[in-house]
Chains A and B, each alone.
Chain A
Amino acid sequence: MPTLTEPIAAPAGRATGVPPTILTKREHTVEIVSDSGEGAQRCGQIFGAVSAKMGNGVWTVEIIPAEIQPPPRIPEGASGYRVRVGAGPVTNWGDATNLALAFNEQVLLARHRLNALADDAILLVEDKWATSEDADIRAAWEAAMVELSTRHYRIIPVPMEAECLLLVDNPRKGKNMFALGMLARVYDRDCDRIKEQIAFTFRKKSEAVYNTNVQLFERGYEWAETNVDVRIHVPLQKIDEKLVVMNGNEAIALGAIASGMDMCAMYPITPATSVSHLLSEVFEKFGGIVHQAEDEIAAAGVAIGSSYSGKVAFTVTSGPGLALKTEFLGLAVMTETPLVLVDVQRGGPSTGLPTKVEQSDLLAALYASPGDAPHIVIAPATIEECFHVMITARRLAEAFRTVVMVLTDANLATGVTPFKRPTPELHWQAEPVDLSAVPVGTKAFQWDPQTGLSRRIVPGQANGMHTLTTLSHDEGSKVAYSSGVHQRSSAARSRKLAVLQSLLTPPPVYGDATGDLLVVGWGSTKGAIEEAVDRMRAEGLQVSSVHLRFLSPMEPGLKPMFTQFKKVVTVELNYSDEIGDPYVTEENRRLGQLAWLLRASTLVDVDCWTRVPGEPLRPGSIVDAIKDRMPTRGAK
């Protein structure tokens, strides 16, 4: 075990003139952590954006403390940015971090305790705390070093503040640019592009601010040049198509614009709110508005009122908000009013983990509204799909005259990755609302007896007057007093889902169409699952995966697909019991939410492996779990 002071006494210097070690990696994960408000996120954002522009695959994740301004130097306050760069496309956040840059040792401890750091990680850490005048701080540093020494980390102390003080009076502002400079040297980033990005970041500030930040950046670069003895080389790829880089919430917002919707009614809730931040900035120039309602219920109601009288509208929320919206969800289903409802899932139940990812709203998304309220549920699997799903959702809501729920999650919402730049197309846009007269006698619900579909009438259309009602009603929207009407109207609403399913094609299998084990996933876990499958297949394991976008109606063709495998296991970010847990039996075991649905719809004995770590799944964890669940050879 290295002694406490060993790495500190021997800073990885190049002062001896030894050239740095160059490590070539297919992928590398770097993170910058600090106390809240020290700018680690901005440093990480610039690093990620420039890496993408240079031709690396990139997936970034925010490290978010639960509080706005937690006290300094506590592990719970760790705030930062995690960037996974790759020689090819990066589809998920990966496994452990390979290089961390920390503004104090306490936030580093937080990452260590979360097992976020690879055993051989390189840790660059601000060292001023080691010699603090405050004995408590010195003691905390010493204790942290002891705790960190249980792993094989390589700790490189960095006099960040001391260096910054040579240029500025208040190093709290600007230390992040020094950090960016160090990373730029270690990863050999394009300094011109970084300066462009700094200029963009500070475009609303003065020239002097820009100059200071660039000086700090250059100082960090030079310091690393002299004092850090390692370079990480992640090969670049030529970018031959136009890319955009954004997070999933931005993609949802821009997708909503692309779909032609012009009303977003919402109430602030983490992690959904940033959809409305972007829209509030730009929506009006597209002719749309964001209405911040008095509560989640009203947000749903305003969206429904808008949809009813014009183009399809949408509302965006997260778990607790979804709970409040369920009565209105039932209303929209019953009155066949189109609505797009985006649920950016977070950890639950109740307030749960507001800033952390989870996939625990699936069953609530399908079934939370009392009574039989069939509606469509779609889950985009990537940030790119967050953009396109809104166009699909708006169309389906209109065509099927129902609610389309879009399930994303905190991982998609805050993850940032480049993807093919969408080329906006005219046919994505909603048609103008038809306000022409309808023939006398046109009914509010002329249900097609085969499909259950009917065309909605919009107020303003002469001869179309009727009263929509949430009571059971007949074709004319008359309150149903006679027997049989409820059966007939329920059938019409339900049939629409069967019709939609008949239009879907079975999802593709990733890997061979037969084998020992099929992993089934949904939502943001696609990248991690497929990376895990790749690793297992490389080891010769007969593992494939399939990823579902439509959860209601369920995608077709699953049963015949499942029977080609000895075992089917869902991998999900929600809670399930494990066989072997106290009291847990085959009979009472609570399963992953998709597993319930698949067992019901296929009668296949689907198993699950699910976790609620408050962070995205790591490919490595999936590999370990699936290997544990591999069927024994020859068994079926």
Chain B
Amino acid sequence: MTISCGVLPVLEPEDQEHAYEMGDYEGARARWCPGCGDHSILTAVQRLLASEQLPPERTMFVSGIGCSSRFPHYLNTYGFHGIHGRALPIATGIKLTRPDLDIFVVMGDGDCTSIGAGHWIHALRYNLDIVVMLLDNGIYGLTKNQTSPTTPQGHPSNTQPHGSWLPSLNPLTTALGVTNASFVAQTAEWIPSHLYATLRAARRHRGLSFVRILQRCPVYSSAVYMKAVQDPSRIALLAHDDGVVVPELEKVYKNHVAHNPHDLEAARRVAESTEHVNLGVLFADPSRPRYEDLRRVPPRTADERIHLLDAELDRYAV
């Protein structure tokens, strides 16, 4: 493996005597509520890290604030548990400086689609080669049951006790509307094999991979995905060779929609449709420009910089 890195010395991989196993990625014991969908996502991520054999010291999880943003603590990689809504700027700074690192961003729906919505739009456009996971439970959990932008209309909370006033924000159409967005997918934590396969596709995509993960909150929003969980006929799997293919699911989930993830117009139609809960890769275009590639500059030694600065100062000489 070679690591190209704009501003830092090239890192040679350490000699790895054994293959990484899932246990190598375990951090602190997860403190989410029993039945929280985040547990399942954590397991899928650990499985992904092991299957991709990512060195823990070169893997980075960045999060904001919220239940799901505790995620990095539960992994044995580098982590940055930041502030509410601001995971993406931190991740942007890291990726620009350290393109050699594998970066995963974990955000909740409040983090990503509300307080951090501005960063979300712009991160999609920057299209850095990172994986961005939206753990969408349609509610604010950590602060105890407030309406979020993705709370379904009519769903009651402590801040909107008569039900959410507005139709919920659709993260998929939003993401697909952003210029230069290069990968948009949707999966559900209660279907672990699909979750894993989607995250793997996201990790392998070159560019910002935005994955909305439907995630149950058993305490405050258990009703939100209840029907989809209980009735597989409400789910449709997007089928394409360049998307996510999980053959063992096809017996349970019988709705298969042929969808070409290279077709943006089709992706937008899928994102808009309410007939089923569509799971799979809606859109992928690895040819879109990546910001860290556009901004890559040749590194300079301290000596070179000092000489160049000397010349620069001559421009100001009296």
Our verdict on whether A and B bind, yes or no, reads yes
Q: Hey, which bits of chain A sit against chain B, CB under 8 A?
A: 49, 52-53, 239, 242-246, 250, 254, 257-258, 260, 262-263, 265, 282, 284-289, 291, 293-295, 297-311, 313, 327-328, 330-331, 335, 418, 421-426, 428-429, 432-433, 435, 437, 459-471, 478-479
Q: Which of A52, A246, A421, A465 touches B56 (beta carbons < 8 Å)? A: A465
Residues of chain B within 8 A (CB-CB) of A239 are 318
CB of B57 within 8 A of CB of A305, answer: no
7 tightest CB-CB pairs across the interface, nearest first? A305-B93, A301-B89, A467-B79, A287-B300, A302-B93, A306-B93, A243-B318
Q: Is B1 part of the contact surface with A, judged by Cβ < 8 Å?
A: no
B298 → chain A, closest Cβ, in Å? 7
Residues of chain B within 8 A (CB-CB) of A424 are 306, 309-310, 313
| Contact bitstring B301-318, A, C-beta under 8 A = 1, else 0 | 011011011101100111
B43 → chain A, closest Cβ, in Å? 18
Q: Is B240 part of the contact surface with A, judged by Cβ < 8 Å?
A: no
CB of A308 within 8 A of CB of B80, answer: yes
Residues of chain B within 8 A (CB-CB) of A468 are 79-81
**What CA separation (Å) do A262 and B79 show in the bound complex?**
23
CB of B93 within 8 A of CB of A260, answer: no
Q: Is B27 part of the contact surface with A, judged by Cβ < 8 Å?
A: yes
Residues of chain A within 8 A (CB-CB) of B92 are 291, 293, 298, 301-302, 305
Known pairs A242-B318, A297-B89, A460-B58; list 8 more (Cβ under 8 Å).
A285-B300, A289-B96, A305-B80, A306-B93, A310-B97, A459-B57, A467-B27, A467-B73
Q: Hey, which bits of chain B sit against chain A, CB under 8 A?
A: 6-9, 11, 14, 27-28, 55-58, 60-62, 65, 72-73, 75-83, 86, 88-98, 100-101, 118-119, 121-122, 295, 297-300, 302-303, 305-306, 308-310, 312-313, 316-318
Q: Which of A421, A459, A462, A464 touches B94 (beta carbons < 8 Å)? A: A459
B16 → chain A, closest Cβ, in Å? 10
A481 → chain B, closest Cβ, in Å? 10
A33 → chain B, closest Cβ, in Å? 25
CB of A302 within 8 A of CB of B96, answer: yes
Known: A425-B306, A459-B58, A469-B81. A310 touches B8 (CB 8 A): yes
Residues of chain B within 8 A (CB-CB) of A295 are 118
**What CA separation (Å) do A52 and B91 show in the bound complex?**
46
Known: A285-B308, A435-B9. A250 touches B93 (CB 8 A): no
B67 → chain A, closest Cβ, in Å? 13
Interface majority SS (helix, strand, loop, mixed), chain A: mixed
Interface majority SS (helix, strand, loop, mixed), chain B: mixed
**What CA separation (Å) do A96 and B23 show in the bound complex?**
75
Residues of chain A within 8 A (CB-CB) of B121 are 294
CB of B97 within 8 A of CB of A263, answer: yes
Q: Which of A49, A288, A291, A465 touches B77 (beta carbons < 8 Å)? A: A465
Show 29 A/B contacts (Cβ-Cβ < 8 Å), sorted by A: A52-B318, A257-B309, A258-B309, A260-B305, A263-B97, A284-B297, A287-B305, A288-B297, A289-B295, A291-B96, A294-B122, A298-B86, A301-B89, A302-B93, A302-B96, A304-B93, A306-B93, A308-B90, A426-B303, A435-B11, A459-B94, A460-B98, A464-B78, A466-B79, A467-B75, A468-B79, A469-B73, A470-B81, A478-B28
Residues of chain B within 8 A (CB-CB) of A294 are 118-119, 121-122
CB of A244 within 8 A of CB of B318, answer: yes
A420 → chain B, closest Cβ, in Å? 10
Q: Which of A331, A459, A460, A463 touches B82 (beta carbons < 8 Å)? A: A331
Beta-carbon nearest neighbor of B77 in chain A: A465
Q: Which of A245, A254, A260, A311 touches B318 (beta carbons < 8 Å)? A: A245
**What CA separation (Å) do A260 and B309 show in the bound complex?**
11
CB of A301 within 8 A of CB of B90, answer: yes
CB of B318 within 8 A of CB of A53, answer: yes
Beta-carbon nearest neighbor of A416 in chain B: B316
Residues of chain B within 8 A (CB-CB) of A306 are 93-94, 96-97
Residues of chain A within 8 A (CB-CB) of B89 are 293, 297-302, 304-305
Residues of chain A within 8 A (CB-CB) of B86 are 297-298, 301, 327-328, 331
**What CA separation (Å) do A327 and B318 show in the bound complex?**
42
CB of B313 within 8 A of CB of A470, answer: no
**What CA separation (Å) do A65 and B100 show in the bound complex?**
47
**What CA separation (Å) do A331 and B316 show in the bound complex?**
38
CB of A263 within 8 A of CB of B60, answer: no
**What CA separation (Å) do A437 and B89 show in the bound complex?**
27
Residues of chain A within 8 A (CB-CB) of B316 are 244-246, 250, 254, 421
**What CA separation (Å) do A304 and B119 show in the bound complex?**
15
Known: A246-B316, A306-B94. A466 touches B78 (CB 8 A): yes
Residues of chain B within 8 A (CB-CB) of A304 are 89-90, 93
**What CA separation (Å) do A462 and B96 show in the bound complex?**
21
Residues of chain B within 8 A (CB-CB) of A289 are 96, 295, 297
CB of B119 within 8 A of CB of A298, answer: yes
**What CA separation (Å) do A407 and B150 show in the bound complex?**
42
**What CA separation (Å) do A293 and B295 show in the bound complex?**
13
CB of A433 within 8 A of CB of B8, answer: yes
**What CA separation (Å) do A297 and B234 show in the bound complex?**
41
Residues of chain B within 8 A (CB-CB) of A432 are 8-9
**What CA separation (Å) do A432 and B11 show in the bound complex?**
13
Residues of chain A within 8 A (CB-CB) of B305 are 257, 260, 286-287, 429
CB of B8 within 8 A of CB of A463, answer: no
Q: Which of B6, B60, B302 touches A459 (beta carbons < 8 Å)? A: B60
Among B8, B80, B300, find the residue whose CB has the most chain A CB atoms closer than 10 A.
B80
Residues of chain A within 8 A (CB-CB) of B91 are 305
A270 → chain B, closest Cβ, in Å? 21
Residues of chain A within 8 A (CB-CB) of B299 are 287
A266 → chain B, closest Cβ, in Å? 12
CB of A461 within 8 A of CB of B101, answer: no
Q: Which of B61, B83, B96, B101 touches A460 (beta carbons < 8 Å)? A: B101
**What CA separation (Å) do A206 and B122 show in the bound complex?**
41
Beta-carbon nearest neighbor of A294 in chain B: B122
**What CA separation (Å) do A251 and B90 show in the bound complex?**
28
Residues of chain A within 8 A (CB-CB) of B297 are 284, 287-289
CB of A421 within 8 A of CB of B313, answer: yes
CB of A286 within 8 A of CB of B300, answer: yes
**What CA separation (Å) do A428 and B96 show in the bound complex?**
23
Beta-carbon nearest neighbor of B10 in chain A: A435
Beta-carbon nearest neighbor of A244 in chain B: B316
B271 → chain A, closest Cβ, in Å? 23
**What CA separation (Å) do A463 and B78 show in the bound complex?**
10
Residues of chain B within 8 A (CB-CB) of A286 are 300, 305, 308-309
Known: A305-B91, A479-B73. A467 touches B61 (CB 8 A): yes
Known: A245-B316, A465-B78. A263 touches B309 (CB 8 A): no
**What CA separation (Å) do A244 and B306 show in the bound complex?**
17
A360 → chain B, closest Cβ, in Å? 26
**What CA separation (Å) do A331 and B58 show in the bound complex?**
23
Among B81, B91, B295, find the residue whose CB has the most chain A CB atoms closer than 10 A.
B81
